[in-house]
Amino acid sequence: MSVEHHIASIRNEINDSVTLVAVSKTKPAEAILDAYTAGQREFGENKVQELAGKFELLPKDIHWHLIGHLQSNKVKYIAPFVSLIHSVDGLKLLAEINKQALKNNRVIDCLLQFHVATEETKFGLNQTEAIDLLNSDAYTSMKNIRIVGIMGMASFTDNISLIRSEFQSLKSIFDSLKGSHFREDDAFKEISMGMSGDYKIAVEEGSTMIRVGSTIFGSR
């Protein structure tokens, strides 16, 4: 099946209200253009350099998502154009995003990344760390970032009930933060969870944004 068919069949399985981010990391510009021609506009990359290179090459109405771990010293390369940063895991990084967004005269949308999986190698905050961040004076004074939700990854396993319970944890973290810090804020509405292997479960558990790579573009 073609890239176009894969996108259509995923779209067919999920509600229109769920955003499909096509994860194009390691894939060439031609593959992205196939998806673009099929109407896809949201694309995700996990490396800054690759993202910046593809931004230069490809149509300017693409919305680029940075989904991988982000080092503060690299924010400047994506700040002029990035649409959503999924992987904010600390105040220092958020402060740098705010600074670079200000330089570019923009407000950059961000998600707080949470660690819910069993693997220690995955990045992300726990709930206490997130609340400390949101309560800090530094965060309150940032005018050029906007936190629009949360992101997380389930464990890499075929244990469906473990995956489901990790997605439920993310949903409950979202609900809790919505109530405590974003009650009046309609922009805080995204739960970015679900990849090729688990997006159906993620959507059942309340995902608003799935990040799908290999099911669309083939294995890497």
Ligand X SMILES: *Cc1c(COP(=O)(O)O)cnc(C)c1O
Residues at the contact surface with ligand X, assessed by CB under 6 A: 23, 25, 46, 67-68, 153, 195-197, 211-215
Task: Supply the DSSP string of 63-104, one letter for each residue.
Answer: EEEE-S---GGGHHHHTTT-SEEEEE-SHHHHHHHHHHHHHT
Closest residue to ligand X in the complex (CB): 213
Which CB, 142 or 149, lies closer to ligand X? 149
Distance CA 45, CA 52 (A): 10
How far apart, in Å, are the Cα atoms of 92 and each of 37, 71, 88? Answer: 38, 10, 9
Q: By three-state DSSP, how is residue 161 classified?
A: helix
Distance CA 74, CA 87 (A): 13
Per-residue tokens: 215: 């099911």
Distance CA 201, CA 122 (A): 20
Which CB, 108 or 195, lies closer to ligand X? 195
Give the shortest CB-30-to-ligand X separation in angstroms: 18
Give the shortest CB-35-to-ligand X separation in angstroms: 13
Which residues are bridge partners to 27 per DSSP? none
Give the shortest CB-186-to-ligand X separation in angstroms: 26
Give the shortest CB-69-to-ligand X separation in angstroms: 9
Which CB, 86 or 171, lies closer to ligand X? 86
Dihedral over alpha carbons 97, 99, 105, 109 (to 10 degrees): 20
Give the shortest CB-196-to-ligand X separation in angstroms: 3
Give the shortest CB-136-to-ligand X separation in angstroms: 26
